[in-house]
Amino acid sequence: MRAVAAGSVGNFVEWYEFGVYGYLATTLAEQFFTPAGGNPAEGLVRTYASFALAFFFRPLGAALFGRLGDRIGRRPVLLGVIALMTAATTLIGALPTYGTAGALAPWLLTFLRIVQGLSAGGEFGGAVALLTEFAPPGRRGLYGAWQSCTVALGLLGGAGVAAATATALTAAQLGDWGWRLPFLLALPLGLVALWLRAGLAETPEFRARERVAGRPGGGGVPAATVLLGAGRVMGWAAAGYTFLVVLPSYLQATLHADVRQALLAVVPANAGFAAAILPAGLLSDRVGRRPVMLTGAVLVAGLAVPLFDLLQDAGTSAAAKGVATCAAGAVVGLMAGPGPALLAEMFPTRVRWTGLGLAYSLSNAVFSGCAGLIVTETVRRTGNVDVPAYYAAAACAVSALTLVKWPSGNGS
């Protein structure tokens, strides 16, 4: 169980921060990207542009840390990755705002987001490699699902902390100093992650490869396999960020909900997401990765528009909306549960960290990191409030096609 905890906890810290940034996007826009008298909508777009930029550094982090991890081992590189992520997240909570540092403030925030993007790009591939290589026979789906589960728990933790902070403080206090608290909380979380990883041994598969071939990690990563892997998880990336991260800002900016209502609305979605992931991973060990992921992709493609129509309906009760968002999160969990094992099984041990990390980070750079920017700007320009639903549905339709049309071995 220490391997599961050590592999998963870094991912929790990473996605906790990414969730907090997404949930507090409107507040961060005011503090860092909107000068006095500036346009709030333009400030929110700039905030999401900074958010997206960090994602585009993920593939670089996946290649850099992945190559190191495939050569020198999973454990030492994962220690460095979580230390970098923890430091960057904590420093965001200590940054001066636009009112104090002027135009320097958004650049400092963007720089720390880039550092987070680099470390996050390395985190996923290494943690999935570690979890699946420690997994007993026939349990890769379940073990890999812990990585996705901590995505859900991190997002849920970020949502809970952000919602609790917004509820406990006045709007003025939240904007003045309260927004800093969720970021500063990353420091103790990161220290726990470092402690867990420091006591972990190297994975059995890596040690076996090293005995046979000396230093592993030789050879290139097949580009076609990376692109196929990215296509298979793009629906998970797009729908996950649309339903689980972008939703609060969408509710505030488009449907004019207040910050507390918007943050509380996303908690059921993340709870449903978290609840579905481990059962989905376990089911994939029995019936295969692709059938479970395909079911999730098809359901999102068919139900995204009705879900957003329900959220826009003022006559629908808050309880009904909560049930609907919880169900939407659970459907995304069908893709997220088997996803890590599917990617791990597409690459051999010698390039596993690099290959699966690149596939995941490329998909997330385009379809997660850009979700807030694309949705916010498109809604602003067109006035069409169904844009988030179209975005998630289209990405899942493409994922479904790649899962059906291009099968590969090992249950992937």
For 182-193, the pLDDT digits (tens) are 999 999 999 998
What's the average model confidence in pLDDT over 116-125?
Answer: 90
Q: How confident is the model at residue 227 (pLDDT cuts 50, 70, 90)?
A: very high
What was the pLDDT predicted at 94? Answer: 95
Question: pLDDT tier at 412 (50, 70, 90 boundaries)?
Answer: very low
For residue 383, what pLDDT is reported?
87
Q: Highest mean pLDDT: which of 23-27, 211-215, 349-353?
A: 349-353
pTM to 2 decimal places: 0.83
Higher-scoring residue by pLDDT: 159, 194: 194
**Among 9-23, 226-240, 326-340, 380-394, which is the least confidently predicted range?**
9-23
- Going along the chain from its start, the domains and CATH numbers come out as 2-405 (1.20.1250.20)
The C-alpha atoms of residue 67 and residue 350 are separated, in whole angstroms, by 9
The Cα 383–Cα 376 span in angstroms is 10
| Whole-number pLDDT of residue 151 | 78
**Helix 259-287 to helix 140-168 angle, to the nearest 10 degrees?**
170
- pLDDT at position 11 over 50: yes
* 3-class secondary-structure state, position 410: coil
Number of neighbouring beta carbons within 10 Å of residue 326: 18
Average pLDDT over residues 250-268: 76
Q: How many percent of the chain have pLDDT more than 90?
A: 50
For position 180, what pLDDT does the model report?
95
Reading the block at residue 319, the tokens are 């309880």
Instruction: Give mean pLDDT, residues 56-63.
Output: 92
What are the b/e assignments for 263-290, b being 16+ CB within 10 Å?
Answer: bbbbbbbbbbbbbbbbbbbbbbbeebbb
With 0-12 / 13-18 / 19 or more C-beta atoms within 10 angstroms meaning exposed / middle / buried, residue 250 is buried
